[in-house]
Structure 1
Amino acid sequence: MPTAADLAAAVGQRLERTPYRIADPRPDGFTMRLDLADARWWGVLSRSGLRETHELVVRVTPDGRSYATTDRRMEVGWTAGPSGPVPHVGATLRASGFQGKTWTYSAKKVVGVSDAGRVETVVDYAFSTALGHRLVSEAAASLGLREKMSTSTKIGVVAAVIGGAMALVAVVGAVVSTVFMG
């Protein structure tokens, strides 16, 4: 049966011409990381920064027959100095994250004054989760592994089903009350 190290090696062979890298190898899996942005720049009167990463966490089951993936996306941005439509002195910090299964495409372009003193593009990327998923699924298929849902994905599916059922009950309730009481 294939091990997590076997899958990491098979994925690693496919990473040669991609921006991904293998990080955090563990006995039960690994993390495939992509740094989308790590930039600092000057605005009109402020200093800003952005660090954004996407990770695909891969875990192989103990029996070596299947694997699960979980997407993790983290973004931390900050601004210090006067900013906004009505400039005020201060600092802001924002952070966001996601963990689960996602199929997304995003692009970002930020123009600012670089540390070299030139107005230039300081953040520029286009990204799709499909590439990372495909790299892992092709490598896993070559080893005979099949994909299963991760725990966080199962929780998301259950929450979506419950939410959909509650919405359906509310709509049916509104229709029934309108028909019989209206």
Structure 2
Amino acid sequence: MGERVSGVPTFEAWTAARVPALLRFAVLVTGSRAEAEDAVQAALERAYVRWDRVARTEDPDAYVRRMIANAHVSLWRRGRRREVPVAEVRGSEADPTGAASDPMEASDRADVVRRSLAGLSRAQRAAVVLRFYEERDDAEIAALLGCAEATVRSHVHRALVAMRKELGDD
């Protein structure tokens, strides 16, 4: 990774190494590749302007991931909703479960989890990803989402109930 004289990585070097992981995180938080790309771009634009300060934090990755989560939270707080076109509508009369027709895809547990995450509300999805992917506690999640810790626990509980039902893990 390229470094300045001070030992701080350059923004370009850092982003070249971290963008794929940040994008994976953003897809989990947003549930949409397009929204994830928008959130990562917005976060990187803000990080670039403040790079000297961001690079000197204890964990620049966590700092930028928080920026991504905040960008996503801002989007759903404003009530802005986008329709996302899909190539195929799942859950038709012929296949009410919406199960994938390809046996390999059906066996891919990660894909099933991503799809069940996409079915959650934005707040529930953000709370679950921050809890289990980012390993944050209730207080940190509440601060990020701008809500009470009890609300975080409620979001996580309801999300897990819905996901277990969707995954058949009753």
Q: Greater strand percent: which structure?
A: 1
TM-score, normalised with respect to structure 2:
0.28
TM-score, normalised with respect to structure 1:
0.27
Q: Greater helix percent: which structure?
A: 2
Tell me which structure has the larger Cα radius of gyration.
Answer: 1
